[in-house]
Every structure is written in C-alpha cells, then in structure tokens.
Chain A
C-alpha cells in the first residue's frame, strides 16, 4: 500500500511564554542580526502514513499536547 509522506509542525500555542524562542531572540543582536522579533521554537516531525486520515488523531494523542501546542499537518508529494 502506498504511503503518504507528511510533515507535522508543532509550535507553542499563542500566548504561552516560549523561553527557548526568547533566548534565541536575545542572542541574535550579539551576532549582528538586528530587527528579529517574535521568535518561537517548535519542532517538526516527518513521517510516512499508510492511513493519512488518522494523522490528526495521532497528533492530538501523541505528537502534540493540545493544551500547550498547536499542530499543522503538511502532506508532502512522494515525487
């Protein structure tokens, strides 16, 4: 059975303090990068799924914690 490739992007929910993003943001001026703001650090999971219909359920149950994180599923062309 052909599998669908997908990317799941997980990020801290709007309004939740993201100290990692803040630390990255604060490090940038020292490196000469000015004018960067609102840095948020999340994570990306790449996977192949036989049944992509079930991906949202999988994300809610394991890949993301819906209380603190939002997720987005991107389907990637097999190419």
Chain B
C-alpha cells in the first residue's frame, strides 16, 4: 500500500497525514508541481492554507499540476481523501459537491468534536465473488452507520454549503459521510454536514482532521479507521 500526500506552499498538516498513512502502509510526499503521482494507491490532500488561501480557500491549489493528476486519478476510481483545506480544494476542483464558507460565528474553531457516520456508509456493495460486503466508500469500510468518532476540527472556513436542491440530491444519493453530533456543529454547516463523498464514493472530503486522531496520546485513535479502510483494500 503506497500513499501519496500532496504538499502545496502553505500546507501545514502534510507531516501528520504522512504519519497517519505510514501506520497503514508506505507514504510519500508529492510536491504540488509534480504532474506524476508515481503509482500511489491512494492520495491525501492535506490541511493547511494552500497558496495562502488567496482569493478563496482552495481556489488556486486546484490548478496545480499535482491536482490535475489527482483529478485524473479520482476519475479512474482512485481513493482520494481531502482533509480541511484539502476538502476545500476538492470542492473548488469540482470533485466534490458544495463549498466551504467562513464559519458562521467568524471564529476559528479548534476543538475535539464527535462525528456521526451518516448514510454514505450504509450502502453496502457486494464483490463479484459475492463473498465480501464492503461499504460504498473505501474510506468508510471500517465504520458502521451511526458510529460516533471523536476527531478534532481546526478551521475558520468550514461551513458546508450547497443550495437546498443540491443538498437534497446529495442526501438522496447517500453522499453524506459524516455529520457533527447534535449540538456540536462548530461552524454553522448546513444540515450538520462534516464530510461528503462523490457519487462513486472514492473521493471523501471532510473538515475534521482524522490524521490528528491516530494516537492515544492525543486523545483518540478514531481517525485511523479511515486510513485502515483503504489500506485493507490494497494487497501488500
């Protein structure tokens, strides 16, 4: 299992993402100017402030050579995980629906929150052999619908927004991956949405930071489940 973690000027969570990935396989950094992902099995677009968040968070990063390669990789079904700024980049790139706006209370939110795994995990597919059932998104394989995960958030622009009709469609297609637990929505996200997947399920974006929740020392290892889910699909 080889993970690739993107690194933009202004990224700041790529090292933690690299560490989280390395707990479930090999991991390497991919500089934003690289057009070739080098045969990785999955990609993480990490948190931070790519290109200084100029214009809009994620707006410039989306045009980098590495992101062009990631878009092709995602199109071909490759697993892509966007965390925080990475989620913003994936939305700007049109790989995920919706947009992230400034937090409702204008405050930078930095705290541990509970997430509830939503519908995206409930749709189970069966392999051609019929022997193994797995969840729709490779990142959510090890997570039961309704399961609570303790994961930190730290962002100033994390208010998930999409027009009502689009939200209805996203929900109907089971694309909501995580919601903030009742009363814990830190940013005013519509319908408490913390993370969504694309239609195929191979691209997941979320504002909370699973890569900061992989060690008991920092209070929770729930984030590791997302990385393990993908790693379990790739032999070796």
Contact = CB atoms under 8 A, between A and B. Distances in A.
A60 to B, nearest CB: 12
Interface stretch (A29-37, A47-55, A61-69, A71-79): A61-69
A17 B105 CA distance: 11
Given A19-B103, A20-B102, A65 B92 contact: yes
A63 B162 CA distance: 19
Given A16-B161, A68-B161, A62 B105 contact: no
A63 B92 CA distance: 11
Q: Which 6 A-B pairs have the closest CB atoms?
A: A68-B99, A19-B106, A67-B99, A19-B102, A23-B106, A19-B104
A76 to B, nearest CB: 21
A73 B188 CA distance: 31
Contacts of A68: 99, 101, 161
Interface of A: 16-17, 19-20, 23, 62-63, 65, 67-68
Contact of A67 (B59, B103, B163): B163
Interface of B: 55-56, 59, 63, 92, 98-99, 101-106, 161-163, 188
Nearest to A13: B163
Nearest to B98: A67
B55 A62 contact: yes
A17 B55 CA distance: 19
Nearest to A22: B106
Given A19-B103, A19-B106, A63-B55, 11 more contacts: A16-B161, A17-B101, A17-B104, A17-B188, A20-B106, A62-B63, A65-B59, A67-B161, A67-B162, A67-B163, A68-B101
B56 A65 contact: yes
